[in-house]
Amino acid sequence: SVPFLIRLFPVLLTKFVFLNFLAFPFFVDLRRPELLLNNTISLYLPTEPGVTVGIWHTVPGSRGAEAQGKDHRWYEEALGDAHPVIIYLHGNGGTR
């Protein structure tokens, strides 16, 4: 009966393959990455009216001691130094 249901409702296949209705890890506030990862903060950028993108900024381990106890301003200034920036976009329906 499963192939028949998928044939009738193909959207079910994408829901169960990608599981985009689940937020994982469970019971974790992803707006506070400093609780999960060292030297990480969360920034929010407005891209267009009504749309805001959340970004985690993590400095490399070599700058970890320097980042201890710094505020958001220090992390924003760290984006403008000579070190390369790696952008990784990821998310699912429950966490983006």
Domain map of the chain by residue range?
21-95
Q: Which amino acid is at 89?
A: L
Task: Please list the alpha-helical segments (H only) found in the chain.
Answer: 2-8, 11-18, 64-67, 72-78
* Long-range Cβ contacts of 49-57 (<8 Å, 24+ apart): none
- Residue 25 is predicted with a pLDDT of 72
40 versus 18: the higher-pLDDT residue is 40
- Can you tell me the distance from the alpha carbon of 78 to that of 96, in angstroms, rounded to the nearest whole number? 25
State both tokens at 19. 């599981």
18 contact partners, CB below 8 Å, separation of at least 6: 92
Q: Is the CB of residue 11 less than 8 Å from the CB of residue 76?
A: no
Above pLDDT 90, what percent of the chain? 1
Task: Give the per-residue pLDDT at 2.
Answer: 80
Predicted local confidence at residue 95, as pLDDT? 52
Does pTM surpass 0.85?
Answer: no
